[in-house]
Structure 1
């Protein structure tokens, strides 16, 4: 006689809780280690130094700008991927999501050979007097490149999950496509849109590899907080830990906001 698998009150096998606990410890323990390593007596002075404040300010400004770029370009892209059907759609969707798995430094090299002085578009921009690489604009471009797939993926999933029933009804009543988009589609997927925007902001804030490769590390111009953490690690480990904690706190706040919005949309 085969014995049935013993299940917990949650409907899960009892053995699942042990590896789940190990997985949680594996993720949480390094964060606890960062908190435990912080020199709390010197923490205020470490995170308020001129270099730290300049890096934090630049990170917040560029992350906000890149999030705006992701919204401006990513929302129409997600709409096309979710609502249209044409040859090559699957290939396009795959290419759009490539930055999710691409090593950031490779993305930085790709951007450098696109917008650099001798790049695909950079040489033409140089003629017009526009130098993109190793500028603050390069930071925004690098962050947008790696963050946009998060917005597209989140919004496309929300669009597909919501269906098109209400949109068809609105169109039947005479609403124009623009009116349907603004009054029906976007309000229905707003939780997914907000969640994608928040995740894009978080990804932009933590971007390192593509920024370093494409924009460099010039204080006040391209040196974001992750780059400052990396540099401080070589000279002042206490400052690196303190700034790392700042990034951890920001990341936790962003995740809480994103998860709260997603829960509201359920």
Structure 2
């Protein structure tokens, strides 16, 4: 069995590879690809693997863009932190998926399903085409409100009132434009899929910021950008090196990530 991993988060890729080697020691992992661009190049001149583990959200865009441009008949298991719309599309089109962080027992079931069903290349291609049609023909409904619990109180916060999301001391918060912080149940990986990407952007591992929260920006180094937020954050807010090119495209309205 040959396997290709398409995953841009190194810890997630390393964990997946380790689990695969534990479960299927005779499987041949062809490599790990980290972007849409490198995936397209791979499929141009390499033989198709038997099985692909595909992260949905890559650093340079949505993984479905790959399969709009190339015809792939391999069996695909999509991996995602959380995306209810995509998960529903997978269920409708009988596409296999795993939720992050991937659990060993769920990966075992994915391999068992792969072996038992013995995927037919033409069927896999048809299922993928049907999935892409489902995803492109329906409007994704992004989250419009967050239900916040603090103490014995419950509060509904409109997404338009949220300036940014951040992680501090392993707790995830949203900050409203009037300067209040509220803990949220979702982590930043999950929030990336729940928020409208034209309005919110993940600048680094700690922050997802709203376009209207940016007060000013400065060149911090050759490839990074420092942002002053409103309301202010007590600490530096810097766009990571790998996110900077996409951040600039996002500011210009040229890229949805």
Q: TM-score range, shorter-chain basis?
A: under 0.3
TM-score, normalized by length of structure 1?
A: 0.24
The structure with the largest helix share of the pair is 1
The structure with the largest strand share of the pair is 2
Q: Which has the larger radius of gyration?
A: 1
TM-score, normalized by length of structure 2?
A: 0.24
Q: Identify the structure with bigger relative contact order (alpha carbons < 8 Å, sequence gap 6+).
A: 1
